[in-house]
Structure 1
Amino acid sequence: MACELIDKIVVHEAVGKKPNRQQQVDIYYNFIGQFNLPLTEEEIEAAKVEAEKQAAKKAKRKTERQRERNAAFRAKAKAERWAANEGHKFAKRVCEHCGKEYYPNGNKQKFCSPECKKEHQRAELEQKRFAEKGNHTFRQKTCKICGKPFWLSNGQEVLCSEECKAINRRQKQLAYYHRKQSEQNAGEAI
């Protein structure tokens, strides 16, 4: 009886790989041709939800595979680096202070030990001080009156020359005179 109602069956080529493989089959009936059953709204919603779940699973599998590939690449690179550095994380370097070869503990390490680092910093500081001072014992200061830089002959000076010292003395005397005058005027007014 089924053979009398069905005119032909068309089987299409399969699409996709194992978990997502789909194959379309068309059934043509006698007198009406191909007949597609309309889907209800619940079936359409269920199909959408299922498609979203499948897409989420696919994306999750893809990210997991990418993580695995990245982890494998990092492990391989790490093994190669350790093999190249004789079992150490970083390549051999030369200490900037003492010139000894050493294996660093980090990427930015420049010295073989903390002692070398302290020695280098102290030497750099001394070199900077002597370059700044030249043959002078004390550091350079700026004059309070004229603002020019000058080298001190003792640690107490704040003025660069005799002229600046005379100007400073006159300013102090004038300030003292005006203060006394204002005190005298205030005393007479009371």
Structure 2
Amino acid sequence: MDAQAQESFREFVANRSSALLRTAVLLSGGDRHAGEDLLQNALIRAAGRWQRIDEPEAYVRQVLYRQQISRWRLKWPRREVSVGEPPETGTGTDISAAADLKLVMRGALARLTARQRTVLVLRYFEDLPEAEVARILGCSVGTVRSTTHRSLARLRVLAPELAALGGAGRQPSPDPSPVEVRP
């Protein structure tokens, strides 16, 4: 890599690494260290091909997605994160409510399978259309739709507190009772 390409790569890393790291952390289930490893590996691949890459951010994001897919296909056992003390609960201010929401969401995402988490991150965090997610994951659009549906349903079961923290104001619909239909 020549000096101009090195400078271009350094500039790219300086400008885009924080956004790419957020995506990598989400893809890795909220594990910052795993997200950093994921991003570092993606940037190493990009550095090796830097002069041939037309759209660097798209290339790095593609590598992130594919590496994460490879990780969950390997079915490695999940490592548990140990902490000295449990996190404190919020004081009820808007800032703490946002922090609580982030913690609950991160915990709920971590309890999903890697595939479910990847589909949700691509669809809602990266705001990609279903067809693009299907292309990235190498599956059909129907698979993306059904996985998204099942993942959101699983999130609702795993973290019902998201409805209360999100402040959406939606009331759960009552259970439908049987209705007799006469011709």
TM-score normalised to structure 1 length: 0.19
Task: Determine which structure has greater relative contact order: mean sequence separation of CA pairs < 8 Å that are 6+ residues apart, divided by chain length.
Answer: 2
Greater strand content = 1
Task: Tell me which structure has the larger Cα radius of gyration.
Answer: 1
Structure number with the higher helix fraction is 2
